Structure 1
């Protein structure tokens, strides 16, 4: 089996290390296995943990790693880029790798992959591979605001969902038959967004959460409709929103003490990427924190999310 990931910083394994962008995580205190790799957390990401849970491998490599080996191609890589999104405006703002370019990278990857083994075997691996798509967060937080008054939340969400459907249609055309699409998370409850939008008490931002919920509802419905047109494909919608929100609302049930601040940074209330650095402190025990920085969960947080969704995921994909 193979796992391949597309999307943003939740599944970027280090591709931004090789891109001219400020959105990098290849320095302390971001680390994995004791050293910075470009993952935006304190250990393994969603991509790594899903790959391990599916029995693929322990770590999913970034596709742009110049040292990537041919045998890595047979078990999958990540094309994701921190700051990416479906809306072209998003990557204009963040200078990340657009989703459309990630798809072009995948096409080249397929070509290289087919040059290493027989085409029939390669096609069989692609057909049985699991492709994970995690994006939309940056679109809803960054681009929606900049698209007003051209779009309201509903029209923007519909536009965004159409871009998602185009993306999975392109994957289908390339031979992919098992697709996992994550919903947007509760954006308003990410520590940095709480600080920006949550007032003095740093409550969850209602506006951001409402936009995410509307988008998610449309996405789920349209993915079901798309899947009904392609019965030989398996499309799994992952409710990232409520899975993460349940941990945020009852952190002690999951072994966390803190769910409204990140572990890294002077305050933990807004620091992300370069505001978390080797000169800023980190919390004394990261296992007690759901979030590593102002936007991204810790490895423990990601692990709980993966464990929560895994059985439904397997049931849908089989």
Structure 2
């Protein structure tokens, strides 16, 4: 799977860390799904099944298009080595969280701490190929990090399964726990030589079909309480970005306002050519309240570009393209303090 645009001389590589929003096939169960041609995920890619939790491209894929990078291979791709590593690697894993325990009831996954270790594993081969050019290569590469959703949906909001839930932590305490843990791993990557970081906020997960249904909110409404809980994390992350930039002048840390970007789509769908904001295109009833992700060979809706959500949790490709464009070229309200295009030029 290769992007036809040549790699930018200003940006040698992109390294992605995250969850199912940007996963390209790292989980073992995804690998088996791909082998079984798990329609309908990734159905719009010209090369067929892609292991992505959407109907086509993720936000990272769309950023690769804008930056002239090849689509990034997943870390677990068989035989991944040599020049395949040079354009970057996707370490994201479905169900992964900032905290190691987040999503553990869903099975095997790579939490953030393990994803950082996986990146270190690739550094040995990259260093052997690049030699003295290694430091410049890492400093010019971009890191994309998309975390936090699972720490809420598959941890904090499930008190019967997790000790780090709302039974034991206030929303402010949990957000602080996440930010502190997140910062340690970000600085670990910084210590390895990476210098350009895009840190995505958590979107309005209280508006996902799953959370609307789980909490039985009234029609045409989101779960405002869940969104308020997520707000503590997003404000903390934006503040942490400012602190990181102050403490590490040789690096640049950027806050991607995913919450605001998706919120604008939800509030003004017609401006983006969309119509359905409260139900998944693919789900049990292909409508509001679909509780699970798409089942094998379940026929999704035909008008996919009119839907905000692909399934009960994940946005459609149409939304991912919007998010990528806002991150790439948006104003400070979308990407703070600078956007990805400006970050590449630094």
- Using structure 2 for the length normalisation, give the TM-score: 0.85
What is the match of residue 7 of structure 1? 18
Aligned match for 1:220, one of 227, 231, 238:
238
Superposition pairs for residues 275-290 of structure 1, below 5 Å? 275-290=293-308
Q: Does 1:108 align with 2:134?
A: no
Gaps of 5+ in 1: none
Instruction: Give the Cα–Cα distance (whole angstroms) in 2 for the partners of residues 271 and 68 of structure 1.
Output: 36
What is the match of residue 342 of structure 2? 315
* Superimposed CA distance per residue, residues 2-31 of structure 1 (whole angstroms, 9 cap, x where no aligned partner): 011001011100001467999x99611102
When the two chains are superposed, the root-mean-square deviation of aligned CA atoms in Å is 2.2
Change (3 A) 1:205 1:91: same
Change (3 A) 1:206 1:94: same
Instruction: Give the Cα–Cα distance (whole angstroms) in 2 for the partners of residues 221 and 166 of structure 1.
Output: 15
1 or 2, which has the higher helix percentage?
1
Q: 2:81, 2:125 within 8 Å by CA — same for their partners in 1?
A: no
Alignment coverage as a number of residue pairs? 314
Instruction: Give the Cα–Cα distance (whole angstroms) in 2 for the partners of residues 252 and 63 of structure 1.
Output: 38
**Which deviates more from structure 2 when the two are superposed, residues 34-43 or residues 181-190?**
34-43
What is the match of residue 297 of structure 1? 315
What is the match of residue 27 of structure 1? 38
Q: Does 1:65 align with 2:73?
A: no
Change (3 A) 1:18 1:3: farther
Gaps of 5+ in 2: 1-11, 160-164, 330-338
Q: 1:41, 1:296 within 8 Å by CA — same for their partners in 2?
A: yes
- Using structure 1 for the length normalisation, give the TM-score: 0.92
* Superimposed CA distance per residue, residues 166-208 of structure 1 (whole angstroms, 9 cap, x where no aligned partner): 1110010000000110011101011211111242415211121
